[in-house]
C-alpha cells in the first residue's frame, strides 16, 4: 500500500526543484504525491526564509495543521527548506506537532528521517554535509516530467541583506558532467526547455573534464543536446555576467532572450552598503553590452526599497535607473531585516516611507510591463505549450520572452508553435497559431 505525501512549496524556483527531488526520493520509499494535506500520511512544508513574512507564514500554516494532527495522530509533519535551516530545533520547540526538520543541504537524508518519524522518533538535520545531496537522489521518474524543467547548478551568494548564505551555505557549483547527464535524462523523458538555477547562477564554475566550465560553456554544451529546444538561467549577478555568456546570447538560438538580472537599487551608496560591488552606471553599461549581443533581450529584475539608510535621493536614483533600463518584468520588495545579516544591524527606514516608495516604484514597473506586453501585439513569437488553458480548446505556453500566451489550438503539451500575438491582458498574451502545425 502506498503512502501519500503532500508537499507545500514556498518561495523560489530552487525550492520548486528541491520539492520535486524530495518527492522522487520519497517515491522510492513508496510515497506518492497527493494535492491536499487532508488525505496525506505525511505533510512536508518546503519553506522560504528570504523575508520575514515568508518565515512567519510557515508558523501560521503549521498552526493550521493542528486539528488535522489531533484527528489523525499518525500524520507525520516535516519542515524542509530555509526556515528549517535557520530555525532548526526551535521549530520543534514552538510547534511540537512537527516530526522532522530538514535543511536544504540534507534532503537526501529525508527518507531515513521519514522512517524515524514513522517509528515515533523526531529528527532535526541542518548539517552542511560534505557529500553532494544530488548524487544521493534517485533518477527522475517519467511521471514527474513536464515539457519544462528546472535544474539546479549552483547555490549560494553574498549580499549584505540576504539570508541565503546562512540557509543554503557557501557558494558551490555542481560538476558539469552531472548537470549534462541530468539534462540528457530530462530530454529523453520529454523535457524541451531547461532553466538552470542558482542564487548566483552566472557565477557557475563547475569542474569539467577539461578544467572548470563557465555558465557560457555549459549553455553551449547543453545547446548541442538534440531535442532540448530552449535554455534559460536564473538568477544572475551583474558582476558575474562574463563576456562568453553575453556572446552566447548572440550566438546560441536555444538561449532564450529573457534575462533576470537584479540590481536591487540604483543608488551607488546603497549598492555599496548592500555589498553589491558595482555601480548603477556599470549596470547600465552592462545592459548595453547585452543588448548589443541580443537586441530583443527582455530584461527582468528585483528591487529592494527602504534598505537601511535609503534617502529620497537614493530612491530617485533607483527610479531613474528603472526608466533607463525599461524592464519587461520585475519583482520588488520592501526591505525586511533578516537576523544575522550585516544589514540587519542598521537603523531601518520608517515603514510608511518604505511603503510609499514601494507603491511608487511598483506603479512604474507595472507601466513598463504593460508597455512591453502591448509591444508584443502584432509580433510573431515561438510558444512552448505546457498545459490546457481555462477556455475550451485553449492551450497555455510560454513565449521566448517568458510571457504566458493563450492560444486556441489542438497542440499538445511539449509542442512548440509560431504564434502571432493578437491581444494583451494584465499578466498574459493571446495569439493564434501561424500557418503550419506545432511540433
Residues forming contacts to ligand 5AD in the complex (CB under 6 A) are 50-51, 161-162, 262, 264, 302, 304, 333, 335-336, 338
Closer of 176 and 264 to ligand 5AD (Cβ):
264
Contact yes or no for 10/46 (Cβ under 8 A): yes
Min dist. Cβ of residue 381 to ligand 5AD (A):
27
Which residue number is nearest to ligand 5AD in terms of Cβ?
302
Min dist. Cβ of residue 249 to ligand 5AD (A):
21
Closer of 12 and 384 to ligand 5AD (Cβ):
12
Closer of 159 and 395 to ligand 5AD (Cβ):
159
State the pairing for strand pair 329-334/298-305.
parallel
Report the SS3 class of residue 10: coil
Closer of 134 and 331 to ligand 5AD (Cβ):
331
Min dist. Cβ of residue 13 to ligand 5AD (A):
10
Which 8-state DSSP code applies to residue 52? H
Closer of 162 and 191 to ligand 5AD (Cβ):
162
Closer of 132 and 302 to ligand 5AD (Cβ):
302
Min dist. Cβ of residue 333 to ligand 5AD (A):
4
Closer of 59 and 166 to ligand 5AD (Cβ):
166
Cα torsion 369, 372, 374, 380: sign:
negative
Closer of 132 and 240 to ligand 5AD (Cβ):
240
Min dist. Cβ of residue 367 to ligand 5AD (A):
20
d(CA 37, CA 75): 9
Min dist. Cβ of residue 314 to ligand 5AD (A):
15
Contact yes or no for 306/349 (Cβ under 8 A): yes
Residue listed under C-alpha cell 519583482 = 331
Residue listed under C-alpha cell 556599470 = 282
Min dist. Cβ of residue 335 to ligand 5AD (A):
5
What are 3's strand-pairing partners?
A: 31
If we measure between CA atoms, which residue out of 151, 155, 106, 152 comes closest to residue 133? 106
Closer of 12 and 372 to ligand 5AD (Cβ):
12
If we measure between CA atoms, which residue out of 25, 16, 24, 61 comes closest to residue 43? 61
If we measure between CA atoms, which residue out of 26, 231, 227, 21 comes closest to residue 140? 21
Q: b vs e for 47-78, b when ≥16 Cβ sit within 10 Å of the residue's Cβ?
A: bbbbbeebbebbbebbeebeeebeeeeebbbb
d(CA 153, CA 380): 32
Q: Where are the alpha helices (DSSP H) in 41-109?
A: 52-64, 66-71, 81-87, 89-94
Min dist. Cβ of residue 361 to ligand 5AD (A):
12
Min dist. Cβ of residue 195 to ligand 5AD (A):
15
Amino acid at each position: 500500500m502506498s503512502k501519500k505525501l503532500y508537499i507545500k512549496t514556498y518561495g523560489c524556483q530552487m525550492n520548486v526543484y528541491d520539492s520535486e527531488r524530495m518527492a522522487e526520493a520519497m517515491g522510492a520509499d513508496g510515497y506518492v504525491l497527493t494535492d491536499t494535506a487532508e488525505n496525506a500520511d505525511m505533510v512536508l512544508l518546503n519553506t522560504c526564509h528570504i523575508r520575514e513574512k515568508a518565515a512567519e507564514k510557515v508558523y501560521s500554516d503549521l498552526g493550521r495543521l493542528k486539528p488535522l494532527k489531533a484527528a489523525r495522530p499518525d500524520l507525520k509533519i516535516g519542515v524542509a527548506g530555509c526556515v528549517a535551516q535557520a530555525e532548526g530545533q526551535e521549530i520543534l520547540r514552538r510547534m511540537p506537532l512537527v516530526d522532522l526538520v530538514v535543511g536544504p543541504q540534507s534532503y537526501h537524508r529525508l527518507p531515513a528521517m521519514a522512517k524515524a518519524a514513522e517509528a515515533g522518533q523526531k529528527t532535526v538535520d541542518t548539517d552542511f554535509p560534505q557529500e553532494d545531496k544530488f548524487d544521493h537522489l534517485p533518477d527522475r521518474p517519467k511521471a514527474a516530467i513536464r515539457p519544462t524543467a528546472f535544474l539546479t547548478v549552483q547555490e549560494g551568494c553574498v549580499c549584505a541583506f540576504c539570508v541565503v548564505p546562512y540557509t543554503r551555505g557557501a557558494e558551490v557549483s555542481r560538476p558539469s558532467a552531472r548537470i549534462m547527464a541530468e539534462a540528457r535524462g530530462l530530454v529523453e523523458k520529454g523535457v524541451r526547455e531547461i532553466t538552470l538555477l542558482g542564487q548566483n547562477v552566472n557565477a557557475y564554475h563547475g569542474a569539467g573534464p577539461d578544467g572548470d566550465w563557465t555558465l557560457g560553456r555549459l549553455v553551449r554544451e547543453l545547446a548541442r543536446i538534440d531535442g532540448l529546444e530552449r535554455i534559460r538561467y536564473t538568477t544572475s549577478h551583474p558582476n558575474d555576467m562574463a563576456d562568453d555568456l553575453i556572446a552566447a546570447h548572440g550566438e546560441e538560438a536555444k538561449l532564450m532572450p529573457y534575462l533576470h538580472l537584479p540590481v536591487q537599487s540604483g543608488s551607488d551608496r546603497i549598492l555599496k552598503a548592500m555589498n553589491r560591488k558595482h555601480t548603477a552606471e556599470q549596470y547600465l553599461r552592462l545592459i548595453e553590452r547585452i543588448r548589443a549581443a541580443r537586441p530583443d533581450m527582455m530584461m527582468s529584475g528585483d528591487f529592494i526599497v527602504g534598505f537601511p539608510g535609503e534617502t529620497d535621493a537614493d530612491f530617485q536614483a533607483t527610479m531613474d535607473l528603472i526608466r533607463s533600463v525599461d524592464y519587461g518584468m520585475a519583482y520588488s520588495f520592501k526591505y525586511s531585516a533578516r537576523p544575522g545579516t550585516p544589514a540587519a544591524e542598521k537603523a531601518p527606514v520608517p515603514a510608511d516611507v518604505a511603503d510609499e516608495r514601494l507603491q511608487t516604484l511598483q506603479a512604474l514597473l507595472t507601466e513598463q510591463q504593460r508597455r512591453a506586453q502591448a509591444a508584443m501585439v502584432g509580433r510573431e513569437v515561438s510558444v512552448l505549450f505546457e498545459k490546457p488553458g481555462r477556455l475550451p480548446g485553449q492551450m497555455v505556453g510560454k513565449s521566448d520572452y517568458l510571457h504566458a500566451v493563450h492560444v486556441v489550438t489542438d497542440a499538445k503539451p511539449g509542442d512548440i508553435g509560431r504564434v502571432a500575438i493578437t491581444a494583451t491582458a494584465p499578466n498574459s498574451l493571446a495569439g493564434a497559431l501561424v500557418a503550419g502545425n506545432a511540433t
